Every structure is written in structure tokens, then in C-alpha cells.
Amino acid sequence: MISFGPVPSRRLGKSLGINNVISPKVCSYNCVYCQAGKTYEKSIKRTTFFQPEDIFKKVLEHIQLLSEEYYPDYLTYVSNGEPTLDINLGKTIELLKSSGIPIAVITNASLLFDETVRNDLFLADWVSLKIDAGDNDTWQKVNRPASGLDFDKTIESINLFTNIYNGILCTETMLIDGMNDDADNLTSVSEIIKRLNPRTAYLAIPTRPPSEESVNPPVSEKLNMAWQIFNNNQINTEYLTGFEGTDTGFTGNIYDDILNITSVHPLRQDSLIRLLRNDNADFSVVKSLIKQRLLRSTIYNGNKYYLREYHLHINSQLE
């Protein structure tokens, strides 16, 4: 499941997703809100998941199946885990640049202490860095980092990267009710972000089913307070609080389209129905995938979503 979509993106237009991390999910964080589910393997060690040539081939083949209407605005690394754990990330970006489509990477920024990670991300045209916490306690509570990571070193490494990076830099802060939406944390986060001088700092809330059922978006007053704090620090700030829409790209292979998208991007029911229609398929496909235990449904904030189902044999407990 290397490429999927394009999916409508609130930041990047038509975004063709690249999942360069194999299942089950491998990440340096185990964020309470992650739409890709729990992290079954925490790691800060870079490794090979796919060969660069294989990703390049799969993405180009995917693009060739798309109609002109769905030609992507960005090729976006948004993985089933942390994309910078892929030791071949830079090599793959260099190959994909021949497509002429800009490259985006959405990263949790935890591995920027590694010079090879920074060098790889320098190649991307657009980079988004996750900054949810302004102190170690909140970081541990919300992002639940792997052992070996240090909050102060992470922030120092983010500054080191952004001082050199020449592409489009954005940040994203996911706000969780009762966990990181208080004034003290928001003020600390805004001070960190102000030093980075991103083009846009996005304030996000969970809009898809999170890994922890207890996670909820903040009340509107807290969301407004967050924007005011960022704005008062003269940061160009935008909300990421709405549904992106149902206009998902399709290739003609409905089974692959559904499984590729839901492996990293839960599909709301209206988006799934439109995808079925575009692929000239009916709901029996969904029923079949559910029966095969490849797909499952869940309700979140009053909407029905479909997620990729994995059956794992886990030998060790989550940290």
C-alpha cells in the first residue's frame, strides 16, 4: 500500500499520499489522537521499508491511472507511521522530483536531531512539523514519545532545521480537550513556533477517529483562545477544523483504492460512497472487505468512518 488518493487536503489541494512505512505502524510517537491508530512498534532508528525504485515506480503507475481532473498538486509523504524513519526518504524524493510535482512531507519532527533526516527534508518543497506541546509533561501525555527522545533536544533540533530550510515551512498543533488546550501550554507552543517563522501555523482538532476513544476536540472557546494567543504573537495562523470534502481520487481498482486510502486515512461514509460511484462499484465491495476483516466501521462525532483493519501478533506491549 505505497500510494493512495489523491485525497482532498486542506493545505495541499489534491494530495497524492505516499505511505513509505510498512504495516503494522512504526513511529517514534504514539499520539493519543493518531488517525492511523496505536503505534505497535516505537522506534527512533531509521531503516529500509521499501526500495526507492519501488516507491518511484508505484507512484508513477498510480499517476498514470488518474484522470486529468485528479492530477495531484503535491506528492505527500503521510505515512502509516513517521516517514523520516525511512532511511531511503531522500533518495526517493530525488527520484520523484523528476515527475515535476512538488514534494511534501508531514513529519512529527522528532528525528531532526539526526543530520541525515535534516538533509533528506531539505530536498522537500513543503514540510509540516508537528508541535503539540510546550513542555515535557504535556509532550509525554499527548505524543507519548519513544525512549531515547528528549523534549528540549527535539525543540533545539527543530530550530536547527528551520534555520537552514529554504522550502515552504508549516507547523501543525493538534488540540485535545483537557490535555494541551490550556493557556500556559498554548503560550509556550506559540513562543516556540514564533521563532521558527513558518509560512502558516495550523491549529488542528481531531476530525477522524483517534487512537484513544477518550480524545475529544476542545470547546470553541479554547479554540478561539488558541488562535488569539498565536495571533498576538504575530504568527500567521489558520484553523484545520473542517472536513476536507468527498472528492477523493480513484484509479478504477476499487479494492486497492479503499484499502490504500484507509490504511492511513479513515474514509467518511459520504467520501466512500462517492469513491464507489467513481469506480463504478457498489456497496457490496465494502461488505466483502468487512467480512474479510480488512475493513471496519466506527462512529466519531456523529459521522460513520471506515478504517483499515489489521490483525497483528504482537510480542511486546506498547510503551
Q: Is the pLDDT of residue 312 over 60?
A: no
Arithmetic mean of pLDDT over the chain: 87
**b/e burial code for range 46-71 (CB count within 10 A of at least 16 → b):** beebbebeebbeebeebbeebeeebe
Q: What is the pTM (predicted TM-score) of this model?
A: 0.78
Digit-coded pLDDT (tens) for 183-196: 999 999 999 999 99
Question: Residue 130 has which C-alpha cell?
Answer: 508537528
Q: Is the pLDDT of residue 84 over 70?
A: yes
Band of pLDDT at residue 311, cut at 50, 70 and 90: very low
Digit-coded pLDDT (tens) for 126-154: 999 999 999 999 999 999 999 999 999 99
Listed range (59-63, 74-78, 104-108, 266-270) with the worst mean pLDDT: 266-270
Q: What is the mean pLDDT of residues 26-40?
A: 91
Distances (CA, A) of 200 to 97, 100, 237, 265: 24, 24, 6, 23
Band of pLDDT at residue 70, cut at 50, 70 and 90: confident
Q: What is the mean pLDDT of residues 259-268?
A: 67
List, in sequence order, every residue forming a beta bridge with 200; answer none if it has no partner: 170
Q: Where are the domains positioned within the chain? A: 3-251
CATH topology of domain 3-251: TIM Barrel (3.20.20)
Reported in sequence order, the residue ranges of the chain that DSSP labels E, i.e. its strands, are 3-9, 13-18, 26-27, 41-42, 74-77, 103-107, 126-130, 168-174, 200-204, 237-240, 267-268, 295-300, 303-308
Q: What is the mean pLDDT of residues 220-234?
A: 87
Q: Is the pLDDT of residue 104 over 90?
A: yes
Of 198 and 311, the structure prediction assigns the larger pLDDT to: 198
Distances (CA, A) of 277 to 249, 254, 300, 302: 12, 10, 24, 23
